[in-house]
Structure 1
């Protein structure tokens, strides 16, 4: 056995234990880092071939692995923008360099420009929300992503387009009987506009309805005819269409009012259903994030308007992702390609608002590993020291 080989083996052992201590140090330092995934050092023997009956000592090599797929526990907070993933998947964030990364660190804070950034300065990404279809995603790329911005709807108004007005017209009243009711509509700037609906009986089973705004007719008079059972049979379709108006620089668009539920029965005039869509101008007072990642802005009239859908990503082998500073990851040759999706679909986990994923570091386990590494490092140093002493004995044989 070569004494030099013995010493090199001792050195490799010390280097291996130093690597293990380095991962232990990182894990302990990040025990309270949101979404941190612990590192571990795996050992592999290095065997050299035996020649001429002499044993050649080899050594040990190390490989650092990351427990990225191991989920941590949750800590619940009072901030709606603190997000955790319950299950598989990663948030997509963008760095100051304009490059997208993966992360489980969801301690996001609303910035003065409305974007959501985590404690490492990475911006949360997603897709603009559509009420009719899920946003089209690029499965294997980040195209189409945009920054989620909570100030994108600081004021919001919605003009009226459709409505419903179902009334009962008293059949036992004489021709010439007049009754009126009103509905509120909203123009393009969110101003309220009061529309008056005036019903006039013209003959048995026949009425006229006229719609006016501020004394100006915008629909009518429109003939209404009922059958012997008091069911509306005309107009067909059973609706009123108003004409658009420009009022003080704002546009009150043409409205379609459904009157199919109107009746003519021997009872008092009564409105059974009446409403017009749209809403007045209102300010954002908060936001909500659902478990499927829909980010909705909450206005002071208590309405929720969906604005964004948080994007999720996954890879076939998350433990082989490449970790980078800021608790983010990038794709590697061994991790597989990045596949995009949404929370709650296709194996992706759900999003918890008002929660953070804790580090998956076990302090007791790390301290145990530290003690083991310390002991093993000392033992390997003794091997090196013994080899050095034997070399000194060998050199002194010449004296």
Structure 2
């Protein structure tokens, strides 16, 4: 073994311990960083070939690894837009250039234009919510995602387009008996309009239904009468289970306001004819009167909804999630985010609570997975190892001095 080789080995050991101390320092500095994943330094030996009785000392190689797949503890928060993932997966976020990244840091707040951004300024990405339609996902990309924006545009009104109405019609009534109930619907300006539902028995197990606008008296059905027939044994509705209130009957637009009534499909399928009194259920209808946004809610499956002052809930987005085959091999970037690497595998997108993706917890944050006690222990161990390696280097230097002084 040459003296120079001995010194190089000692220097290699010192450099490896410096790298380890660097990761320890970074972990301690980020012990309270939301969603931070600890870094660790792993060592491997570098062996040099020997010849005869001469031994060539090798060195040590250090490699930094990240515990990205290790989940941190969950801490509660007072903000509903603070999010944590209980299980696998990452939030998809975007920077100002439109580049997408993965992160577990879910401390999101609205910026000046209503977008949900985390502490580092990355925008939370998701899909536009369409009721009854699952967003189209790109298995190996982020196609279809856009920044989630919850900006309030002042008062918001929505016209009714569908509803339900159910009632029990007494089976023992005589032909000609009639009943009336009403359903309140909304026009395009959010004005409430009452629709009177007039039931009349016209024969055995047969009733007719007419719907009239209470203000104008106009018939809302075309044709004006809907015939409903019932099963003689069970009293269940057989025919006439759906009607359409024709908005154009009231004029397009409604005279004097510019507001329009849309065509409204009303489901009557739960109407029955049983030996009980007339019992309407009051009906339901979509749409809403003018109202301001007062709250935001996020469900465990990632549906982001706004709640208006009239307690109407409107789903707007569904948060997109992503994962890779080997999360620990993702490449860390500035801002506590990660990008895909060759070793991490292909990015797969999905939704919370589906498949291998975990549930989203609103009003919670994922804490750093750093163990301070372990980091301080590693710090002491690295300090001692660094000192020992410096002694090897110093001893080699002293021996080299002795060798040089032999000439004297």
TM value normalised by structure 2: 0.86
Q: Is the 8 A contact 2:226 2:243 kept in 1?
A: no
**1:366, CA displacement in angstroms?**
0.7
Partner of residue 215, structure 2: 214
Structure 1: which 5+ runs fail to align? none
Distance 1:243 1:341, change over 3 A: closer
Instruction: Give runs of aligned pairs for residues 120-135 of structure 1, distance below 5 A.
Output: 120-135=120-135
Partner of residue 403, structure 2: 394
Partner of residue 83, structure 1: 83
- Deviation per CA, 1:123-177, whole angstroms, max 9, x where unpaired? 11011122212211000011111111112676242324444264758987897x8
Q: Is the 8 A contact 2:195 2:212 kept in 1?
A: yes
Q: Is the 8 A contact 1:160 1:187 kept in 2?
A: no
**1:57, CA displacement in angstroms?**
1.3
Instruction: Give runs of aligned pairs for residues 184-223 of structure 1, distance below 5 A.
Output: 184-197=184-197, 209=210, 211-219=212-220, 222=225
Distance 1:299 1:208, change over 3 A: closer
Query: In the alignment, is residue 275 of structure 1 matched against residue 283 of structure 2?
Result: yes
Alpha-carbon distance in 1 for matches of 2:378, 2:209: 88
- Deviation per CA, 1:239-296, whole angstroms, max 9, x where unpaired? 665442232211123445566737698x98x452332513222221111111111111
- Deviation per CA, 1:10-55, whole angstroms, max 9, x where unpaired? 1111111111110111011111111111111111111112223111
Partner of residue 330, structure 2: 321
Q: Is the 8 A contact 2:322 2:349 kept in 1?
A: yes
Alpha-carbon distance in 1 for matches of 2:244, 2:279: 19
Structure 2: which 5+ runs fail to align? none
Partner of residue 144, structure 2: 144
Query: In the alignment, is residue 102 of structure 1 matched against residue 105 of structure 2?
Result: no
Distance 1:136 1:88, change over 3 A: same
Aligned partner (choices 227, 237, 240) of residue 237 of structure 1 = 240
Q: Is the 8 A contact 1:35 1:358 kept in 2?
A: yes
Coordinate RMSD, CA, aligned: 3.3
Alpha-carbon distance in 2 for matches of 1:213, 1:275: 16
Distance 1:380 1:237, change over 3 A: same
How many equivalent pairs are there? 396
Distance 1:312 1:254, change over 3 A: closer
Distance 1:8 1:238, change over 3 A: closer
**1:93, CA displacement in angstroms?**
0.5
Alpha-carbon distance in 1 for matches of 2:168, 2:26: 73
Instruction: Give runs of aligned pairs for residues 247-262 of structure 1, distance below 5 A.
Output: 247=254, 248-256=257-265, 261=271
Aligned partner (choices 283, 286, 305) of residue 314 of structure 2 = 305
Distance 1:323 1:255, change over 3 A: closer
Q: Is the 8 A contact 2:229 2:239 kept in 1?
A: no
Alpha-carbon distance in 1 for matches of 2:194, 2:92: 47
**1:217, CA displacement in angstroms?**
1.9
**1:71, CA displacement in angstroms?**
0.9
Q: Is the 8 A contact 2:236 2:272 kept in 1?
A: no
- When structure 1 is superposed on structure 2, of 4-13 and 274-283 the one drifting more is 274-283
Query: In the alignment, is residue 351 of structure 1 matched against residue 360 of structure 2?
Result: yes
Distance 1:128 1:240, change over 3 A: closer
Q: Is the 8 A contact 2:159 2:261 kept in 1?
A: no
Alpha-carbon distance in 2 for matches of 1:312, 1:235: 45
Give the structure with the higher percent strand. 1
Distance 1:212 1:202, change over 3 A: farther
Distance 1:390 1:224, change over 3 A: closer
Instruction: Give runs of aligned pairs for residues 4-23 of structure 1, distance below 5 A.
Output: 4-23=4-23
**1:373, CA displacement in angstroms?**
0.9
Query: What secondary structure, in the 3-state scheme, does the structure 1 residue paired with 2:143 have?
Result: coil
Partner of residue 164, structure 1: 165
